[in-house]
Amino acid sequence: MLKIYHNNRCRKSREGLEILENSGQDFEIVNYLENPPSKQELKDILTKLGLTPIQLIRKNEKVWKEDFKGKELSDDELLEAMIEHPKLIERPIVLKGDSAVLGRPPENILGLL
């Protein structure tokens, strides 16, 4: 089953959700701002995406600029920052089994369908 880590306030995330809705496939929506992934879930997502923690960070977010920008942070510290401030997590993320894509652009999701 597909799973989308979704933020309804994000246009790209809404576009990604629309692609899933139009696919006719079953999927689960995770509102990660209300239910942030655990550290292990983030590690699993990163493995599936083939990314490092810094590559999943939204660096234009106010909290990043004010609290983290310019600091040397370990991967573990970056994971903790994403858990504490889920707004920092790039979105949408769509998982299917052992595969995942970052829906930026949303058309990336089509590769999982």
By annotation, the residues acting in catalysis are 10
41 CB-side CA count, 13 A = 14
DSSP symbols for 49-110: HT--GGGGB-TTSHHHHHHTTT----HHHHHHHHHH-GGGB-S-EEEETTEEEE-SSGGGGG
C-alpha 34/C-alpha 14 separation (Å) is 16
